[in-house]
Amino acid sequence: MASRSDGWGRTVHVGLIGTGRIGALHARSLRQSPLVSTLTIFDADSDRGAQVAGDVGAELAESPQALVSGGVDAIVIAAATPAHAELLHMAAEASVPAFCEKPIALELEATDDVIRHVARAGIFVQIGFQRRFDPGYTAARDAYASGALGDVHVVRLATHDPAPPPEAYVAVSGGIWRDLAIHDFDIAAWVLGSPVTEVFADGKANGEVFERYGDVDAACAILRFEGGVLGAMTATRNDPRGYDVRMELFGLRDSIAVGWNDRTPLRSVEPSVPAPSRQGYRDFLERFEPAYRAELHAFLGAIKHGGESPCSVGDARAALVVALAADRSLREHRPVRVGEFA
């Protein structure tokens, strides 16, 4: 996506749309950033927006349109997923750089509409796949690219939530592949530097809520990457020991793991291995808070000084297409080539 460097001063005026769990964290990060001079907030829940604005000392806007017309230099979109595409269109119309939480949209057609609009407008857009800013995943990418692992034939990925989300969230989430596993699809391709080309997926709904919305809460997928590496992925909504996110790479010289430490919510039953010394991560915010802060810092730096987007709209599309392929594979009980969605 287009870079931006137009002689702005030392600091910028940022507009934040959405102040839920991740939005509230973004509000604190933006207000603490030395690159931000002014923060203006909007939330469809006016009481929540006012509370967060008061907590961080930000200004409050009456609408997204008022926020943009108020002269912001950039916007951060942390609203609910169904609003992402419309807000990115608004940013493109106003020629304002935007950071947007994943996904752009749940459907490919709506995603492509945004991508075309962003390209015409020439604005800088960064999509929020925060794992790209986690030190463990960065180290794994460097190790793989350097050849230190030797030939890597297989990788394993896991994202296990500690407890299911509320039914209202399940209803609009787009399902486990587009909501949860899409992070694994993105980060695996990023670490390996190779896209996923084929998916063979399965899953099971354990409970009426997921069945009601045609979703599953326990899922597995076999991934084939360009170049021949194979991946095995698990995704679940129930892990009583905590929030478990890992990636393992098995090479002919070395094998490494991301997300393996004294808070990994897994215990060995071998008699000589002690139990984990600390409690597992409670949720994604606790596990990835430094990465969330780092991605916003990268966004602010890029729009001030120029540079390519560290996670472009094209990258977001690629992850969505893999999620759509996984969903089709589960429903049709067959391997699905990502090219079916080209």
Q: Domain of 106: which CATH number?
A: 3.40.50.720
Asked if 167 and 106 sit in the same domain, the reply is: no
Residue 235 has a pLDDT of 98
User: 160 and 100 share a domain?
Assistant: no
Q: Are 169 and 96 within one domain?
A: no
Residue 181 lies in a domain: yes
Together in a domain, 202 and 71: no
pLDDT bucket at 302, cuts 50 / 70 / 90: very high
- Residue 309 tokens read as 């987007």
The pLDDT value recorded for residue 11 is: 79
The pLDDT value given to residue 234: 98
- Cα–Cα distance for residue pair 223/196, rounded to 1 Å: 7
On whether both 118 and 141 belong to a single domain, the answer is: no
Of 123, 157, 184, the last residue of a domain is: 123
Mean pLDDT, residues 217-234: 98
Q: What is the pLDDT at residue 275?
A: 86
Residue 303 lies in a domain: no
Whether residues 114 and 92 share a domain: the answer is: yes
Looking at 123, 154, 183, the residue that finishes a domain is: 123
Within this chain, do residues 154 and 79 fall inside the same structural domain, yes or no? no
- Quote the distance between the C-alpha of residue 331 and its chain's center: 24
Q: Are residues 83 and 179 in the same domain?
A: no
Q: How far, rounded to the nearest angstrom, does the alpha carbon of residue 282 sit from its chain's CA centroid?
A: 18
- Asked whether residue 1 is assigned to any structural domain, the reply reads no
Residue 164 tokens read as: 């299911």
Question: What predicted TM-score, i.e. pTM, was given to this entire model?
Answer: 0.94
Question: Residue 9 — very low, low, confident or very high, per pLDDT cuts 50/70/90?
Answer: low
For position 229, what pLDDT does the model report? Answer: 98
- Does residue 2 surpass a pLDDT of 60? no
Q: pLDDT (tens digit, 9 = 90+) per residue, 30-69?
A: 999 999 999 999 999 999 999 999 999 999 999 999 999 9
The answer on 139 and 112 residing in a single domain is: no
| % of residues, the chain, pLDDT over 70 | 97
Burial call 53-72: b when 16+ CB within 10 Å, e when fewer: beebebebbeebeebbeeeb
Helix (H) or strand (E) holding 274: none
Mean pLDDT of the chain: 95
The whole-number average pLDDT for the span 159-177 is: 96
Structural domain contains residue 185: yes
Residues 148 and 258 occupy one common structural domain: yes
Question: Tens digits of per-residue pLDDT, 253-288?
Answer: 999 999 999 999 999 999 999 988 899 999 999 999
Identify whether 310 is part of a domain: no
Lowest mean pLDDT among 2-6, 165-169, 171-175: 2-6
Band (pLDDT 50/70/90 cuts) for residue 137 is very high
What's the pLDDT at 277? 86
Q: What is the DSSP letter of 81?
A: G
How many structural domains is the chain composed of?
A: 2
Shared domain for 51 and 102, answered yes or no, is yes
| CATH, residue 277 | 3.30.360.10
Instruction: Tabulate helix, strand, coil % of the chain (nearest 5).
Output: 45, 20, 35
Say yes or no to pLDDT of 340 above 50.
Answer: yes
**Last residue within a domain, chosen from 93, 123, 153:** 123
On whether residue 6 sits in a domain, the answer given is no
- What tokens appear for 108 in the block? 């490919």
Q: Do 88 and 146 reside in the same domain of the chain?
A: no
Q: What is the DSSP string of 143-176?
A: HHHHTTT-SEEEEEEEEE-SSPPPHHHHHHS--H
HSE-up of 30 (CA within 13 Å, CB side)?
33
Domain of residue 193: give its range: 135-288+320-341
- Tell me the residue type at 47: D
Residue 307 lies in a domain: no
Residue 6 has pLDDT above 80, yes or no: no
- Indicate whether 266 belongs to any domain: yes
Residue range 197-224: mean pLDDT, rounded: 97
pLDDT value, residue 7: 44
Residues 172-182 have a mean pLDDT of 96
Q: What is the pLDDT of residue 8?
A: 54
Q: What is the mean pLDDT of residues 228-238?
A: 97
Alpha-carbon gap, residue 68 to 62, rounded angstroms = 11
